[in-house]
Amino acid sequence: MATTQERLIETTRELLWERGYVGTSPKAILQRAGVGQGSMYHHFTGKQDLALAAIRRTGDEMRTTVDRVLGGGGPAYERIAAYLHRERDVLRGCPVGRLTMDPDVITSDALRAPVDETIAYVESRIADVVQEGVDSGELAAHLVPRDIASTIVATVQGGYVLARASGDTTAFDTGVRGLLALLSPAASAPPSPATDH
């Protein structure tokens, strides 16, 4: 059985993902977690303190996933493709990216910090892999790893938004395919010399 503190954190994570910070009331947290008000205030000073713990947990989970997908061996392109194709609930959106659209999170230095740190970490890990690909000659020499990492994160986050807006994952999948086509080693290879017929 999960401890009361764990239930509160996990419930808050789910509600933040579903409803955002404003829509996640203490009452909703307590009802879904099945705990009393006293239990919440025994472990946390209030809603913001609990939300901060939940956001940090979500960020840690995302970092672990990114490390697992990108940290394995193999060609850089294949690891980037694995990151873009990894299993995700596209129509629910990104549990971290969702928070960037929440005004109460963005205007709070405390709540925004773990969101910013997580996004920066993901970009940094992707940039490292792109740099490996450039250094090995697998990816085009002109690619700027930080720029490509930002493009990958923007494609994923934008894909979530478009998919949620349409209620269909097609926009996300199309964006991923297009980005991978642009990064493909074949796309960056010099053209074959013309042959006379």
Look up the CATH number of the domain holding residue 134. 1.10.357.10
pLDDT at 182: 93
Q: Name the domain count of the chain.
A: 1
State how far the Cα of 56 lies from the Cα of 114, in Å rounded to an integer. 6
Could you tell me if residue 197 is inside a domain?
A: no
Could you tell me if residue 194 is inside a domain?
A: no
Q: Which residues have C-beta within 8 Å of that of residue 58, sequence separation ≥ 6?
A: 13, 16, 17, 95, 96, 118
| DSSP assignments along 136-190, one per residue | HTSS-TT--HHHHHHHHHHHHHHHHHHHHHHTSTHHHHHHHHHHHHHH-HHHHSP
State how far the Cα of 70 lies from the Cα of 144, in Å rounded to an integer. 18
Could you tell me if residue 16 is inside a domain?
A: no
Element (H, E) at 69: helix 47-71
8 A C-beta contact, residue 77 and residue 139: yes
Residue-range definition of the domain harbouring residue 150? 55-188
Q: What is the CA radius of gyration of the chain?
A: 20
State how far the Cα of 109 lies from the Cα of 191, in Å rounded to an integer. 50
Single-letter amino acid code for the residue at 51: A
Q: Furthest-apart CA pair in the chain: how many Å?
A: 84
pLDDT at 185: 80
Q: Which residues have C-beta within 8 Å of that of residue 43, sequence separation ≥ 6?
A: 4, 5, 8, 50
Percent of the chain residues topping a pLDDT of 90: 82
Could you tell me if residue 126 is inside a domain?
A: yes
Length of the chain measured in residues: 197
Say whether pLDDT at 41 is over 90. Answer: no
8 A C-beta contact, residue 79 and residue 157: no
Percent of the chain residues topping a pLDDT of 70: 93
Could you tell me if residue 165 is inside a domain?
A: yes
Could you tell me if residue 47 is inside a domain?
A: no
Going by C-alpha positions, the residue among 183, 153, 156, 185 that lies closest to residue 172 is: 156
8 A C-beta contact, residue 180 and residue 153: no
Could you tell me if residue 75 is inside a domain?
A: yes
Could you tell me if residue 72 is inside a domain?
A: yes
pLDDT at 193: 55
Give pLDDT tens digits for 126-179: 999 999 999 999 999 999 999 999 999 999 999 999 999 999 999 999 999 999
